[in-house]
Amino acid sequence: MRFSRSALCRAAAFFAATLIAPASLAAEVVNVYSARQEALIKPILERFTEESGIKVNLITGDGDALLTRLRSEGRNSPADLLLTVDAGRLYRAREAGVLQPLHSDFLKKVVPAHLRDNEDYWYGLSVRARVIAYAKDRIDPAELSTYEDLTDPKWRGRLCVRSSSNIYNQSLVAGMIATEGADAAGAWAKGVVANFARPPQGGDRDQIKAVGAGQCDLALVNSYYYGAMLQSGGEEEAAAANVALFFPNQDGRGTHVNVSGAGITTAATHVEQAKALIEFLAGEEAQHWYAETNNEYPVREDIEPSARLSSWGEFKADSVDVTELGRLNAQAVMIMDRANWK
C-alpha cells in the first residue's frame, strides 16, 4: 500500500509531536514503519499496547519505499522499528545501514538461526512457503514433484507466475542459486519462462484466480494468499476453492520458505520499547495469531500451525539461511533478466 504526500505530512507532524513531548509522555511509545498492510498487523499491535501499555504509532507503505525513506531521513528518522516482508528486503535494510543490532536471549532461543540475521540486525517473525497452486479438476498431484519439474515441456503454456520484479520470485531464484548453483538456477529460469501460459502479470492472488478460471493449470504462489482467499468470501473464495496447494522438493532440499521480520532502526529513540514489541511478536500469542489470522506459519518450532494450515499437510522446508536470499538477490535478478522473465 503506497502512502500519499498528505498522509506522510500528517504522520510526520504526529511523530514530531510525539518526539518533542515531555519524557513522561513520550517514553512508552514505539514508532513503526511497516510494509505489512494495516489490516494484517494492527490488531496484534493493539494487543501489544493492551498488555504492555506501550503505544504504537504505525506508518504503512511499500517495503522498498519505506527503505528509501529511512535512508533519506537518516539519523532524523522518527521510526524505531522496521517491520517488512521477505528476507531480501531485511538484508537490504541492513546493508543500507538503517538497522542496528538487537541482542535478545529470548529471540535467539525461539527464532531458528537460519531465519534471522547472523549478527542480530533482524529476526524472522513468521514463515511463508512458496508453493505450486494447481487446478483440482485438471491436475493429478501425482504429476507434481519439484520446482525443477516445472521446466518439463509437458507444462508448456500451462504455468502462471508474477513478474521478475517481485521480491518473492527473486528470493526463490536466489534460494536456488544457494542450493543448486547459478548455472542450474539459470537453466531453471529459462525453462520456466518457456512454459508460461501468459506474460507475468498481477500478484499471487491473480495467479490463483487464473488457475481457478482455467487460464493456466499451475502457478507459483505464497501459501498465505491462498488461505486469505479461502477466508474472503465471494469471488476470491470461489476461485480458491477450485485450487489446491502442492509443496515441492519433499524428497530433496524441501520447499522454499521466506519470512516476514523486524529490526530496530539506527535512528531509534525508543529502543527498549521496540525490543519489547519484537519479542512480543515472537511470543506465543502473536505466533498463534499469525497462523490463525494471516495464514502464515509460526517462526517458532514449538508453536503448532493453525487448523487451516495443518489441513494442507506437513511439509519439509528448505533450511537454507534466508540471509542468502538477500546476498544473492542481484545475481538472481540478473539470471531472470537473461531468461527474459519480464
Cell 527464532 sits at which residue? Answer: 111
- Cα separation, 268 vs 193, in Å, equals 44
Cell 487448523 sits at which residue? Answer: 307
Nearest to 151 by CA among 211, 202, 208, 218: 218
- Cα separation, 335 vs 203, in Å, equals 21
**159-160 and 99-100 as β-strands: parallel, antiparallel, unpaired?**
unpaired
Whether residue 290 is annotated as binding a ligand: the answer is no
Cell 538497522 sits at which residue? Answer: 99
Long-range contacts formed by 52-55: CB under 8 A, 24+ apart: 52/28, 52/276, 52/277, 52/280, 53/28, 54/28, 54/29, 54/30, 54/273, 54/276, 54/277, 55/28, 55/29, 55/30
Whether residue 226 is annotated as binding a ligand: the answer is no
Give CA separation, 39 vs 30, 53, 90, 179, 198, in Å.
Answer: 18, 21, 21, 35, 31
Contacts of 47 (CB under 8 A, 6+ apart): 285, 286, 289
Contact 78, 31 (CB under 8 A): yes
Give CA separation, 13 vs 19, 45, 67, 323, in Å.
Answer: 10, 21, 20, 35
State the binding site. 224-225
Q: Which residues are annotated as a binding site for Fe cation?
A: 224-225
